[in-house]
Amino acid sequence: MLNREELSKIVLELVPEAEIPEGTQYPEAIIPAEKLVELTEKLKSDKRTQFDYLISHTAVDFLTHFTAVYHLDSTEFRHLLVLKVKIEERENPEIDSLTGLFPTCEFFEREVFDLFGIKYKNHPNLKRLFLEDDYGFPLRKDFRDEVNIIER
C-alpha cells in the first residue's frame, strides 16, 4: 500500500503537469483532459500502483466548468486515488471514455451523459440511461423544470 506522497510522486512522474491538492481526504490528482486515458492505463498496468478497480465515476457542475471525478482502487494494495479532470467547455463538453480500460465505466459514463450532457469520445453506446431523449440535463446547476421541480 502506497501512501499519499508515494502516489503523488508516481502520478507526477507520469504526468508532470498534474496538480496535487493538499489536505484532501484521499490522495487526489487534477490532470489535463488529454492525458486521462494515458495516465489511467499506466496506473492500471504499473506494478507499484495496479489500480484495476474503478469504484465510481461521476461529474460535478461548478457553473464555470465541469469536473469529472474518478475513484480508483487497487484490489491488490487497497490504496485509493481520486482523479479529476476539468472540462471548461460548457456548450459541448467532451472527454475521453475509459470504457476500454474499465467496462463498468460504460454505464457510469452513460449516466453522466444522461444527467450532465457530457459527451464521451470512443464510447461504444452513448445513449441516455434513465431519461427521455428530449429531456434537459437535470444535474446541471442551471437546469430549470417548472412542471416537475418545485423551487424552494
Partner 1 sequence: MSEEIIKDVIIGENEEYIINMGPQHPSTHGVLRFEVCLQGETVKYLIPHIGYIHRGIEKMCEAITYPQIIHLTDRMDYLSAHINNEAVCLCVENALQIEVPERVKYIRTILAELNRIASHQLWWSAFGMDLGALTTFFYGLRDREKILDIFEESFGSRLLHSFIMPGGLMHDVHPNFQKRIKEFIAYFRKKLPEYDQLLTGNIIFQNRSKGIGLMSRETAIAYGVTGPSGRGSGWSCDIRKIAPYSAYDKVQFNEMLETEGDTFARYKVRMREMWESMNILEQLVDNIPEGDYTAKMKPIIKLPVGEYFQRVETARGELAVYIVSDGNKTPYRIKFRTPNFSNLFVMNKITSGYKIADLVAVSGSLDLVIPDIDR
Does residue number 130 form part of the binding site for partner 1 (CB under 8 A)?
yes
Backbone angles phi, psi at 5, to 5 degrees: -65, -45
Q: How is residue 32 written as a grid cell? A: 489535463
Q: How is residue 142 written as a grid cell? A: 442551471
Calpha distance 104→5 (Å, rounded): 29
In whole angstroms, how close is the CB of 149 to partner 1 at the nearest point? Answer: 8
> Which of 102, 106, 101, 111 minimizes the C-alpha distance to 124?
106
Calpha distance 125→122 (Å, rounded): 9
Calpha distance 48→45 (Å, rounded): 9
* Span of 3-11, 34-42, 85-93, 106-114 interacting with partner 1 by CB under 8 A: 106-114
Does residue number 35 form part of the binding site for partner 1 (CB under 8 A)?
no
Considering the complex, state which of residue 89 and residue 107 has its C-beta at the smaller distance from partner 1.
107
In whole angstroms, how close is the CB of 62 to partner 1 at the nearest point? Answer: 9
Does residue number 1 form part of the binding site for partner 1 (CB under 8 A)?
no
Among 60, 121, 124, 136, binds partner 1 (CB under 8 A): 60
Chain residues binding partner 1 by CB under 8 A are 24-26, 52-56, 58, 60-61, 69, 71, 75, 78, 82, 102-104, 106-107, 111, 115, 129-131, 138-139, 149, 152
